[in-house]
Chain A
Amino acid sequence: MRFVDEYRDAEKARALSAKIAGLCEPGRQYKFMEVCGGHTHTIYKHGLEDYLPESVTLVHGPGCPVCVIPMGRVDDAIALAEQPDVIMTSFGDMMRVPGGRGSFFDSKAAGTDIRMVYSPLDALKVARQNPDKHVVFMAIGFETTAPSTAMTVLRAEAEGIENFSIFCNHVTIIPAIKAILDSPDLRLDGFIGPGHVSTVIGCRPYEFIASEHGKPLVTAGFEPLDILQSVYMLLVQLAEGRSEVENQYGRVVPWDGNQVALKAVGEVMELRPYFEWRGLGFISHSALRMREKFASFDAERHFDLPGVRVADPKACQCGEVLKGVLKPWECKVFGTACTPETPIGTCMVSSEGACAAYYNFGRFSRERVRQASRPEPVTIETGARRE
């Protein structure tokens, strides 16, 4: 596959890995946060940590839109699905996410009509096909996904479709990064920036991270070489004493983002005063809701929702994991009470949550895995040996 396979090349990875090792100052520990859950998924799916020296640690950030939805919002969505003559539509990602009283799958088993869709436009299609029902779309996602929801609402308005509304849970990435930067117990050396969010918002919104907080940020693509290259670019910046915003993912991310997409979002949605993020708490101006002008497409205005907050169990240490203070396996309930089957905290919820990725893909001593998987001694041509 073009633009995919060439970024999964093991040989280039080895050269880059050697470069990365060469850039690390002896005795210094480096901690970089990949903000985006998609990056976390790539890192584990391809076993990327095998290419990083011990002194480089990747901290898995809060950029998983499924994980950060508070349990109370899932309960609200299920309450919507329980309304008479409602069809709830959702991306597959949300189906297994438990709220305070179970998941979409549990609700479906109890008799509600919840359908999986690939695109918000497919949800609109369900509305067209079922004029006697009201179709709600469970909108989740960062700035990457919000434009698709906005375009779908604009389309629904143009077509005069009245039996369609959005349960808007779109969130914005910058306030979450700010919340992390403001956390007192956090020590990070730089950020791997979210590539697909940046196709929409561009790279400028990150400039405060470099200028005010003195941390370099490299916007990165989602293939493993993309991530390895951004680690390299971060280390070069640190070695040269720079902190700038750089774009590793220039093939997809324009520096100024996608103005058409931003305009569509701005037309249909506005910032909420505050929104609760699982694991991080309430963050101001961190989420979107439908504008008054589009009230007829707003499920929150259409229906009366319980709006009850559900507290995460006290034993859950997701907040610390999200800030990189704890490694997933250092959490008290990791792998015992909290597993991908019964995810207690946000990081275990979706396959790109830090804990789920670690549990599914990396749950073993790396040294033992390495030994088992590569029994033949690998001969590395090093200068020392040739000498």
Chain B
Amino acid sequence: MTEQRQANWAEEAVREHAEDVHDHELAQYPSGVEHPSREQQVLDRIEKARARKPKVKEERITLAHGAGGKATQSLVEAIFLDSFRNPLLEPLEDAAIVTANGTSLAFTTDSYVVSPLFFPGGDIGDLAVNGTVNDLAVSGAKPMHLSAGFILEEGFPVADLRRIVASMAAAAAAAGVTIVTGDTKVVQRGKADGCYINTAGVGVREPGCELGVATARPGDAVLVSGPVGEHGMTIMLARGELDIEAELESDTASMHELVAGLMKADVGVRAMRDATRGGVATILNEVAQAAGVAVVVNEDDVPVRAEVRGACELLGIDPLYVACEGRLVTIVDGAHTEEALAALRSHPLGAEAAVIGRIADDPPGLVLLNTGFGGTRIVDLLVGDPLPRIC
């Protein structure tokens, strides 16, 4: 027979969880004992394993660490949060809430590395402004000032840079923010993908504004402000590798007015999130985990454009995990569902807003989906980017 060896990583994983395996063996019931209780034991064991302190086991950073799913979560918690830990960072919301001279401010930062730099519906400049404005807006703040840092690759066409900067200026004007400080670095050819942008932003919050995904409670309603997944699918197709044509445009937009309208309507908003990387499913998992509630979503109520659905079916991807860049997910008091929907729909960006589900108490920490077919299933966090699959 051929030479044989062991997979060391796998043996280590088994050893590391040996205690759980041991528990499992203790729990072996004599035959004849009802299955559900045994199944429940296994499920508890999984929850225990999932609740363990996250660890980064990989020796090198892989693309999965940047995809917004479980790998990103482990990286942030095990490496960044572990070292920087402080009460302002710990909530890991879209923006930190800081106080200066008695004024409550939202403060956030984001880096933009999209490829291609120009795509149907926008470019990296639009994203760099809108993304940061949105992070401030969903934190309940009026966006005020942004910084802009550029990492440019040697040889990058100045005309392209002008185009990107013009988009940023237009997006900033539309969002009512000013870009007040910045930085430029140039790296050698091959060390960057043309142009990377980092923006940071500050905004002022209304006094007494209490928002956060941890405040969701049973009976609340879950809404999205429009069809999901357009940005992510547009980018995937714009890369050209898949040779798929579709009339799709990125949904990149600044949501500050949409959010302001919703807050003004006084509909008992508990939390708002900007559904970017990882899509709506990732946000809903954050809600379920932070608030210790169940999020129950109706598949048929989630708005998805026909072309996004077609591309998703073709590539074997679930639109719930595909990124948006101008879509709000919000949790509101269930008693005000209709008013919240009306408030969103009164703004052009929210014209196709929909109630997609509700918050329940059990099972805590999980997102459940009522499928269009009439069944039920779990919607979990993704391990990495949604990848095109053939099977």
Chain A positions near chain B (C-beta within 8 angstroms): 1, 4, 8-10, 13-14, 37-38, 44-51, 64-66, 71-72, 91-93, 95-96, 98-102, 105-106, 108-110, 115-118, 122, 141, 145, 224-225, 307-313, 315-316, 329-330, 332-342, 344, 350-352, 359-375
- 30 CB contacts below 8 A, A to B, read A4-B313, A10-B373, A44-B377, A92-B388, A98-B9, A100-B8, A110-B60, A141-B390, A141-B391, A308-B3, A310-B4, A310-B5, A310-B6, A313-B7, A313-B10, A332-B21, A334-B46, A337-B16, A337-B20, A337-B21, A340-B383, A341-B70, A344-B14, A350-B389, A362-B377, A364-B366, A365-B36, A365-B43, A373-B360, A374-B370
- Apart from A225-B373, A360-B380, A361-B378, list 10 A-B contacts with CB within 8 A: A1-B306, A10-B374, A37-B391, A45-B377, A46-B372, A47-B376, A101-B9, A106-B62, A315-B21, A334-B42
How long is the Cα–Cα vector from A49 to B81 in the complex, in angstroms? 41
Closest B residue, CB atoms, query A71: B7
Min CB gap A339→B, angstroms: 7
Taking a contact as CB atoms under 8 Å apart, the answer to whether B9 and A342 are in contact is: yes
Task: Choose among A44, A65, A342 the residue with the greatest number of B CB atoms under 10 Å from its CB.
Answer: A342
Tell me whether B368 is interfacial, beta carbon within 8 Å.
Answer: yes
Tell me whether B58 is interfacial, beta carbon within 8 Å.
Answer: yes
How long is the Cα–Cα vector from A342 to B376 in the complex, in angstroms? 26
How long is the Cα–Cα vector from A106 to B61 in the complex, in angstroms? 8
Closest B residue, CB atoms, query A100: B7
How long is the Cα–Cα vector from A315 to B25 in the complex, in angstroms? 12
How long is the Cα–Cα vector from A117 to B380 in the complex, in angstroms? 26
How long is the Cα–Cα vector from A109 to B62 in the complex, in angstroms? 6
Q: A47-B371, A109-B60, A337-B17 are in contact. Are A91 and B389 (CB under 8 A)?
A: yes
Query: Which residues of chain B from 33 to 81 have a CB within 8 Å of any chain A CB?
Result: 36, 38-40, 42-43, 45-46, 48-49, 57-58, 60-64, 70-71
Taking a contact as CB atoms under 8 Å apart, the answer to whether A311 and B6 are in contact is: yes
How long is the Cα–Cα vector from A312 to B14 in the complex, in angstroms? 11
Tell me whether B322 is interfacial, beta carbon within 8 Å.
Answer: no
How long is the Cα–Cα vector from A335 to B52 in the complex, in angstroms? 12
How long is the Cα–Cα vector from A122 to B48 in the complex, in angstroms? 44
Taking a contact as CB atoms under 8 Å apart, the answer to whether A49 and B375 are in contact is: yes
Q: Which 9 A-B pairs have the closest CB atoms?
A: A47-B375, A92-B387, A10-B374, A335-B46, A337-B17, A46-B373, A336-B20, A336-B17, A361-B377
> DSSP class of B's interface residues: helix, strand, loop or mixed?
mixed
Chain B positions near chain A (C-beta within 8 angstroms): 1-11, 13-14, 16-17, 20-21, 24-25, 36, 38-40, 42-43, 45-46, 48-49, 57-58, 60-64, 70-71, 241-243, 294, 296, 306, 309-310, 313, 315, 360, 362-363, 366, 368-378, 380, 383-384, 387-391
CB-defined contacts of A64 to chain B, threshold 8 Å: 391
CB-defined contacts of A365 to chain B, threshold 8 Å: 36, 39-40, 43
CB-defined contacts of A46 to chain B, threshold 8 Å: 371-373, 375, 377
Taking a contact as CB atoms under 8 Å apart, the answer to whether B71 and A369 are in contact is: no
CB-defined contacts of B49 to chain A, threshold 8 Å: 335-336, 339
Min CB gap A63→B, angstroms: 9
How long is the Cα–Cα vector from A157 to B294 in the complex, in angstroms? 56
Taking a contact as CB atoms under 8 Å apart, the answer to whether B315 and A118 are in contact is: yes
Taking a contact as CB atoms under 8 Å apart, the answer to whether B384 and A93 are in contact is: no
How long is the Cα–Cα vector from A342 to B57 in the complex, in angstroms? 10
Taking a contact as CB atoms under 8 Å apart, the answer to whether B388 and A118 are in contact is: yes
CB-defined contacts of A8 to chain B, threshold 8 Å: 372-373
CB-defined contacts of A342 to chain B, threshold 8 Å: 9-10, 13, 57
How long is the Cα–Cα vector from A224 to B373 in the complex, in angstroms? 8
CB-defined contacts of A96 to chain B, threshold 8 Å: 64, 383-384, 387
Taking a contact as CB atoms under 8 Å apart, the answer to whether A372 and B294 are in contact is: yes
Closest A residue, CB atoms, query B318: A45
A95's contact among B9, B43, B387, by CB below 8 Å, is which? B387
CB-defined contacts of B11 to chain A, threshold 8 Å: 313
Closest B residue, CB atoms, query A328: B42
CB-defined contacts of B389 to chain A, threshold 8 Å: 91-93, 350-351
CB-defined contacts of B383 to chain A, threshold 8 Å: 96, 340-341
CB-defined contacts of B378 to chain A, threshold 8 Å: 360-364, 369
CB-defined contacts of A334 to chain B, threshold 8 Å: 42, 46
CB-defined contacts of A9 to chain B, threshold 8 Å: 373
Min CB gap B75→A, angstroms: 12
CB-defined contacts of A98 to chain B, threshold 8 Å: 7, 9-10
Min CB gap B178→A, angstroms: 39
Taking a contact as CB atoms under 8 Å apart, the answer to whether B241 and A122 are in contact is: yes
CB-defined contacts of B310 to chain A, threshold 8 Å: 1
CB-defined contacts of A51 to chain B, threshold 8 Å: 374-375
CB-defined contacts of A367 to chain B, threshold 8 Å: 36
CB-defined contacts of A105 to chain B, threshold 8 Å: 62-64, 384
Taking a contact as CB atoms under 8 Å apart, the answer to whether B6 and A313 are in contact is: yes
Closest A residue, CB atoms, query B15: A337
Taking a contact as CB atoms under 8 Å apart, the answer to whether A368 and B376 are in contact is: no
A350's contact among B25, B63, B391, by CB below 8 Å, is which? B391
Taking a contact as CB atoms under 8 Å apart, the answer to whether A372 and B391 are in contact is: no
CB-defined contacts of B375 to chain A, threshold 8 Å: 46-51, 224
How long is the Cα–Cα vector from A48 to B373 in the complex, in angstroms? 8
CB-defined contacts of A341 to chain B, threshold 8 Å: 70-71, 383
Taking a contact as CB atoms under 8 Å apart, the answer to whether B42 and A102 are in contact is: no
Taking a contact as CB atoms under 8 Å apart, the answer to whether A93 and B362 are in contact is: no
Taking a contact as CB atoms under 8 Å apart, the answer to whether A372 and B7 are in contact is: no
Taking a contact as CB atoms under 8 Å apart, the answer to whether B39 and A100 are in contact is: no
